[in-house]
Chain A
Amino acid sequence: MSDELDDFLPRDADNNPIGLETTQEEEAARVRLGVVVGGSLSKGLTVKLDSGLNAGQTIENMAVGRYVVAKGLTERKFFSIVTDIILDNTNPAIEQTPPPVSSPFLSDVYRATVAYGRANVSPMLVLDPNDKEPRPNKTIPAHFSPVFEATEEDVNQVFGEEDDDHFHIGSPLDMEGVKVNLDLNRFVERSSGVFGKSGTGKSFITRTLLAAVIAKQKASCLIFDMHSDYGWEITNERGKTWKGLTQILGNNRPHIYTLDKKTSLARNNKIAGELQIQYSDIEPADVEMLSSMLNLSDVQTGALYYLHRKLGEQWVAKLLDENGSPEIEEIIEEGMLVKGTLSAIQRKFELFRRMDFLVPKSSNNVVGEIFEKLQRGTSIVLEFGKHGDNLPAYMLVANYLTRRVHGRYVQAKNDAVGSKAEQPKPLMIVIEEAHKFLDPEIAKHTIFGTIARELRKYNVTLLVVDQRPSGIDDEVMSQIGTRVTALLDNEADIRAVFSGVSGASALREVLARLDTQQQALILGHAVPMPVVIRTRDYDEELYRAVGFLNDTEVEEKTKAAYDDLW
């Protein structure tokens, strides 16, 4: 006797079981999961799962986020993603009278019939046999289209080949052999975000993305490196070390600037320079962004501008001067500011004293230097060293530098429009704790909000790294083209990541179930469809993919170049 119920089903004239597809050779190799029984384009498809040889096993072998292919009547393959798995029945009476545990017979019978599994799947793309490229799907497969596990071949067809424009950033879950390749041109075209709870691998993903963008020369990056995650050697809490971007990127290596020379040198970093900011270079707008952090009231914030006008460019120095200054006395005497407001500001400015990169006088012009380098295609990592845990310092510097670099970009772009000069090189600015910069209160009137909103007008985009995306202004969020999201468990954060993404709400289940490390959902501009990946290992192989040569290789290369010369 045969093992399959199918063999007992009524047969047609060709002895094929009625109601089941003829098994063709290609399909014989695929694992059939079920058939499409309903659904809609907007809400996704309902698939009735086959009971499987062991009744019910298909349900347990399913996984949210897995790829499946519905094979339509027209030979089109509807590439889809599993978004939910449901236990259902054809007769609710069984919920009142479930079979007793002592009766495997009844359970076995019911699990294959009255009780069954259902999966919700979201169709994402259509693979037409006549098309090379997958296309967005505008329809859904017909009733009773069989649904199969996607093969590696299908997935490869969707994510394309790895080449200079497409970088391998990971593999779909359960498909180690398949590469998910990010379209780098599209990635840098708009602002992007990397989100996830603490410790989920944000910094590693970001480093991988940056390595790709820099190695393939898609944009110059200005990286505000809060925790020394990007430039030089990275060590985790268990003492394992990885190489930083400057160590692996060969000729494209970013230059490291530091706010804390001592720490950077102690880490053996190759440093290109030290960033110091003169008191006199600080403008009220640089401080304004810190208003909520410094707890500055609206009145106090407004007063900053007045003080700057009144005290001149030495305003910060004067406000910090413990001996007081005649101008300050004067302001109070004139009654332009109440004493309380002024002393509150002075008290809050005390914070600047601990920022030893703020100096009364500095001779170098690091901002100009950095702009020049970015223009030439050299990326910059700005290390904060001991200031990394000082959020106001981080924000002050990021804001300070970004405002000035952006200003020059605007200038350069305008010059280019008048065709006096070349287009400025695309610039990607990387900030961590992004919600602090882009919170709805301040996003409207700070430089980062402006950059996010003006899109690519001046060839400047953001790469924001954040563990609390719900804190980011909605309008800014809607401009984030590519979103790479590791595990998030806060409902508001999950909602934020999906804001403005049509049909992606089905992916919520997927997101909330990611592993706590090295798994991420990528959606948006730079991938053909949302995809859950195990992120690529940041290791020797990746170093090589972006141009890393070991010492002997460097030696050989130099020798070859030298030989060529003669």
Chain B
Amino acid sequence: MTTAIQIGQLLQSSIRGFSFGCAVPKPEMPHFGAFVKVPILNGTAQAIGTIYDIVLEEDDLVRQIVATPETPAEIILDQRQRQMPIEVSVLTLGYMQGTTVKSGLPPQPPLTLDTIRLCESTEIAALTNDFNFLRLIMQASEAPTDELLVRVLEHAVSVQSNPSQYLRFAGQYLAQLIGNDFQRLDTILRRLESLL
């Protein structure tokens, strides 16, 4: 687990989620909908969540550069190499103690400056084997839930041995959850179908 890719450090946290900072994003990470983990309870456990937002803050220097007509290429390159942290928001979906993974919210939030890592596929599989995480996503008011849901399932499906069956059951779970909003359900399901 320690070999897992480090992607940032905790800026701020609560039971329901946290945000972390990292350097300018590289194409392979961090990704919207990716699963990440961070130590909690003195390192005896890990909270697991999914990335639902990635924000690059503006600053005065950027404003000035933008104001200059025709920005020279080397300025842009300089700018990219500056230590300018970007802020990544995570929705907590579960936590693990040892090898047992539980869906739902953890007993304590992670502490600032703790290290954020990407989850291993076994961890993703363990967490998403139970569809509780779909409910937490659907209930998150701060996140673009429907979009996030599709992306998260895309990740979850990629670690399943029978993806089509998995998606079908996920779809059934969603239908039970939001069956009364048929329009929304139908749109999401059609997106899920395209993942197959």
Q: Which chain A residues have a beta carbon within 8 Å of chain B's beta carbons?
A: 1, 3, 5, 8-11, 90-91, 93-94, 97, 99, 103, 105-106, 108-110, 112-114
Contacts and interface: CB of A to CB of B under 8 A. Distances in A.
Nearest to A3: B165
Given A1-B161, A8-B131, A97-B182, A103 B169 contact: no
Contacts, number: 64
13 contacts: A1-B129, A1-B161, A8-B130, A8-B173, A9-B131, A10-B130, A11-B130, A106-B186, A106-B189, A106-B190, A106-B193, A109-B171, A113-B172
A interface, by DSSP: helix, strand, loop or mixed? Answer: loop
Given A1-B165, A105-B189, 14 more contacts: A1-B160, A5-B172, A8-B129, A91-B182, A97-B182, A103-B193, A105-B168, A108-B168, A108-B171, A109-B171, A112-B172, A113-B175, A113-B179, A114-B175
B135 to A, nearest CB: 9
B interface, by DSSP: helix, strand, loop or mixed? Answer: helix
Contacts of B129: 1, 8
A91 B179 contact: yes
B186 A97 contact: yes
Nearest 7 Cβ contacts at the A-B interface: A113-B175, A109-B171, A93-B182, A105-B193, A91-B182, A114-B179, A112-B172
Contacts of B186: 97, 99, 106
Nearest to B196: A105
A130 B161 CA distance: 49
A99 B174 CA distance: 16
Nearest to B193: A105
B71 interface: no
A93 B189 CA distance: 15
Contacts of A99: 186
Contacts of B168: 105, 108-109
Contacts of A106: 171, 186, 189-190, 193
Nearest to A8: B131
A20 to B, nearest CB: 13
B192 interface: yes
Contacts of A9: 131
Nearest to A103: B193
Residue among B132, B175, B185, B193 with the highest chain A CB neighbour number at 10 A: B175
A105 B131 contact: no
Interface string B128-147: 01111000000000000000
